[in-house]
Amino acid sequence: MIHEVIPVGWLQCNCSIVGDEASGEAVVIDPGDEIEHIQEVLRRHNLRVRYIIATHAHIDHVGGIEKLQKATGAAVGLHAADLPLYRNLAAQAAWLGVKPPGTVVIDQILKEGDRLRAGPLSLEVFHTPGHSPGSLSLYLEGEQPRIFSGDTLFQGSVGRTDLWGGSYEQLLRSIAGTLFLFPDETPVFPGHGLATTIGRERESNPFLRNFSQSR
Ligand SMILES: [Zn+2]
Ligand SMILES: [Zn+2]
């Protein structure tokens, strides 16, 4: 299996490229920017993109989707609850003072329990709202399992909840009630910063400690 993480754009969103050598099929998660760089990685591994998935519709995660979709023809997936955010990308751009990126028609409205397949790779969708209403986490099944947690769970931290439709209570519930149900050794690749594991966050994430104890 191929998995490359590229921090893209000035907010350094982690774009993950997950591919299968034998079938040449791939999934790109959160192509926020630097599409040329992403395409270079795809070419280097000889990969065809089946799906482009956004963990949520913040501009740093979806800003490059239009360019990548045009270049690859891949289907684009997003949770329904983040569609309003995606449609208002221009407002997010104005808020950050950047040029609004182009948008696409979302082909795959994702929901809890959906499975996306690319060759032998299978990604299961978990709705983990809180950072945004439609934030999702993806679980890559198989011999080298891993979670893509978007901006829900970070190494030693959690996503902010003061943006459009955020909820701190919901965020902590998503982490404790969904992500923390995975085995301790499961690697986690967050939307920003370094990778971690479920066990490490369960033991030491300061934002979850009091929340878990209060249940
Ligand atoms: Zn975000
Ligand atoms: Zn982000």
Q: From the CA of 131, how far away is ligand 1's center (Å)? A: 7
Half-sphere CA count of 29, side-chain side, radius 13 A:
30
Sheet holding 25-29, edge to edge: 2-8, 13-19, 25-29, 48-53, 75-79, 108-110
d(CA 166, CA 145): 28
Question: Which ligand is nearest the CA of 11, by number?
Answer: 2
Structure tokens at 182: 């995975």
Question: Which ligand is nearest the CA of 92, by number?
Answer: 1
Q: From the CA of 20, how far away is ligand 2's center (Å)? A: 26
Consecutive H or E run containing 169: helix 168-177
Give the DSSP letter of residue 160: -
d(CA 69, CA 39): 11
CA 47, 49, 53, 58 torsion-angle sign: positive
Q: From the CA of 214, how far away is ligand 2's center (Å)? A: 28
Percentages helix, strand, coil for the chain (3-state, rounded to 5) are 30, 30, 40
Q: How confident is the model at residue 212 (pLDDT cuts 50, 70, 90)?
A: low
Average pLDDT, the chain: 96
d(CA 71, CA 65): 10
pLDDT tens-digit series, residues 92-118: 999 999 999 999 999 999 999 999 999
Average pLDDT value for residue range 127-147:
97
Asked if residue 61 has pLDDT above 70, the reply is yes
Domain boundaries, the chain: 2-214
Q: From the CA of 83, how far away is ligand 1's center (Å)? A: 14
**Residue 187, CA distances (Å) to 43, 74, 109, 144, 173 in order:** 26, 26, 26, 9, 20
Question: Which ligand is nearest the CA of 61, by number?
Answer: 2
CB of 136 closer than 8 Å to CB of 128: yes
Q: How confident is the model at residue 47 (pLDDT cuts 50, 70, 90)?
A: very high
Domain 2-214, second-level architecture: 4-Layer Sandwich (3.60)
pLDDT tens-digit series, residues 179-209: 999 999 999 999 999 999 999 999 999 999 8
- What pTM was estimated for this model as a whole? 0.96
pLDDT tens-digit series, residues 17-43: 999 999 999 999 999 999 999 999 999
